[in-house]
Amino acid sequence: PTQLNSPPGPRRVCVVGAGLVGALAAIYLAQRGWQVEVYDTRPDLRDPETATQAKNSQRSINLALSVRGLSALRATGLGLEEQVMQLAIPMRGRMIHDRWGRQTGQAYGVFGQCINSVDRAALTVELVNAAEQFENVNFHFDHTLRSCNLDDRQAVFLDRTTGSEVVVETDWIVGADGAYSVCRRQLMRKTRVDYSQVYIKHGYCELTLPPIVTASGKPQYAMDPHHLHIWPRHTFMMIALPNPDCSFTCTLFMPFEKFGELTTREELLAFFDCYFPDAVPLIGVDRLVTDYFRNPKGSLMSLKCHPYHYEDRLVIVGDAAHSMVPFYGQGMNCGFEDVEILFSILDQHGVTAIRTPGEKGTTDTRLQNALACYTETRHPDAVAICDLAMYNYIEMRSSVVSWRYLIRKKLEDQFHRWFPEIIIPLYTMVSFTQTPYHLAVLQAARQTQWLKRGIWVTVLGLAALVGFGFRKNLGR
Ligand code: FAD
Say which CATH superfamily domain 2-89+114-196+302-394 falls into: FAD/NAD(P)-binding domain (3.50.50.60)
Give the residues surrounding ligand 1 with Cβ less than 6 Å away: 16-22, 39-42, 59-60, 63-64, 144-145, 176-178, 182, 204, 251, 318-320, 326, 329-333, 335
Per-residue pLDDT tens over the stretch 182-195: 999 999 999 999 99
How far CA 468 is from CA of 260, 456, 463, 473, 474, in Å, comes to 63, 18, 8, 9, 10
Best CA proximity match to 390, nearest among 453, 332, 303, 315: 303
| DSSP, residue by residue, 390-406 | HHHHHHHHTGGGSHHHH
Average pLDDT over residues 231-242: 95
CA distance 206 to 410: 32
Residue 458 pLDDT: 81
**Ligand 1 mean position, distance from CA 355 (Å):** 32
- The stretch 303-330 carries a mean pLDDT of 97
Q: What is the DSSP letter of 101?
A: S
Q: Is the pLDDT of residue 58 over 70?
A: no
pTM of the full predicted structure?
Answer: 0.93
Report which protein residue has its CA nearest ligand 1's atom 47.
332
pLDDT band at 8, cuts 50/70/90?
A: low
Cα angle 234-237-243, degrees, rounded to a multiple of 5: 155
User: What pLDDT shows up at residue 52?
Assistant: 66
Distance CA 36, CA 23 (A): 11
Mean pLDDT score, 75-98? 97
Quick check: 28 and 353 in contact, CB under 8 A? no
ipTM comes to 0.99
CA-69 nearest atom, ligand 1: 25
For residue 386, give the nearest of 472, 304, 476, 446 by alpha carbon. Answer: 304
Q: Quote the CA–CA distance of 239 and 60 in Å, as a whole number.
A: 12
Q: Residue 66: what residue type? A: S
Pocket test for ligand 1, best of 60, 165, 330, 431 (most atoms within 8 A of CB): 60
Question: Which neighbouring-strand residues pair with 228?
Answer: 94
pLDDT at 396: 73
- 327 near 389, Cβ under 8 Å? yes
* Lowest-pLDDT choice from 83-97, 229-243, 454-468: 454-468
Q: Running DSSP on this structure, what letter comes out for residue 320? A: G
- SS3 state at 214: coil
Asked whether the predicted pLDDT for residue 7 surpasses 60, the reply is no
Domain spans, the chain:
2-89+114-196+302-394, 198-299, 402-475
Averaged pLDDT, 31-59: 82
Distance from residue 336's CA to the centre of ligand 1 (Å): 11
Q: Taking 70 as the threshold, does the pLDDT of residue 129 lie above it? A: yes
Burial class (CB in 10 A: 0-12, 13-18, 19+), 418: exposed
Query: How high is the pLDDT of residue 459?
Result: 82
Q: What is the pLDDT of residue 358?
A: 54
Of 324, 314, 348, the closest CA to residue 430 belongs to 324
Per-residue pLDDT, 336: 98
Phi, psi (deg, nearest 5) at residue 162: -105, -15
pLDDT of residue 2: 40
pLDDT per residue over 409-465, tens digit each?
A: 888 888 889 989 888 999 999 999 999 999 999 999 998 888 888 778 888 888 888
**Adjacent-strand bridge partners of 116:** 65, 90
pLDDT per position as a tens digit, 262-302: 999 999 999 999 999 999 999 999 999 999 999 999 999 99
Q: pLDDT averaged over the chain?
A: 92
Q: How confident is the model at residue 360 (pLDDT cuts 50, 70, 90)?
A: low
Task: Find all residues with CB under 8 Å of 299, minimum gap 6, and list them.
Answer: 199, 203, 256
Query: What's the average model confidence in pLDDT over 16-34?
Result: 98
